[in-house]
Structure 1
């Protein structure tokens, strides 16, 4: 068993270098960096100094992180705006930055993705009752984080064709 005194302690310089590597690997939110610094048992004054240095040298950039997050979750995971926004809020990203980051999603791509997801899902739903089919499709799209009005319009349109 490891005792607390056996845990490595870092100088501000060592911690800064370690956090630069941490941020260089992929974009990080300020909360992730703070969590890492807490894990390293850095005192608040040192944490603040390191975070300022990371920001000055552009290793830590909340807007860049948020934009990257939005692109990835939309293009790869096919999440809707609601789910992406909730996740960013959970990561303590400010509303103005979330608003800027959401501009990464083109409206036409968004609607096409919603339709593609709906068409793919409706084929997998084996429910014979059209009302229940539409309900299952709507629930799936809402769970993915798409807006209610878009989901219901799309579900109605798609379920009528299949």
Structure 2
């Protein structure tokens, strides 16, 4: 069965109103809004007009978005800096703003989160071989976006505590 055709929105005022609602719901990157407007059927000149107006009216703020994204992914999903950085790059946020957003993550909280993550995972791993267990822990933490030097430092400290 054919899907019903979506009505194309080419009027800048209508698109602006819809985009304002879209941005008011949660922080958005320029790229997300741009894609949404193209999905509505807007033409490139209209899209850029709407984006410009959203920035002027402070509905769209890339720095605010980057900080909210970094904090949210860290607090809610326990993502590490590498994974957050990758996510922001996919949303086409400039490197300068990515670095600013990553600096908002508290260093002590970051280490504590990594320690908790490794502790929980260690309890789940059913592996007797110490090398394989360590490898699995490292791979898990890397997949969550944490830096290998921090992972190794924490695992080394835990191993020293045991002996």
TM bin, normalised by shorter chain, reads: over 0.9
Deviation at 1:161, TM superposition (A): 5.1
1 CA distance for matches of 2:160 and 2:139? 17
Unaligned stretches of 5+ in structure 1?
none
Alignment length (residue pairs): 161
2 CA distance for matches of 1:44 and 1:128? 59
Task: Give the corresponding residue for 1:14.
Answer: 14
Unaligned stretches of 5+ in structure 2?
none
CA deviations on 1:75-115 (whole Å, 9 max, x unpaired) are 11000001100110011000000011112101111111111
Give TM-score, length-normalised by structure 2.
Answer: 0.93
1 CA distance for matches of 2:130 and 2:118? 14
2 CA distance for matches of 1:126 and 1:102? 34
Give TM-score, length-normalised by structure 1.
Answer: 0.93
Cα 1:156–1:149 change in 2 (3 A) is same
CA deviations on 1:109-160 (whole Å, 9 max, x unpaired) are 1111111111111111110111111111111101111111111122233356
Task: Give the corresponding residue for 1:44.
Answer: 44
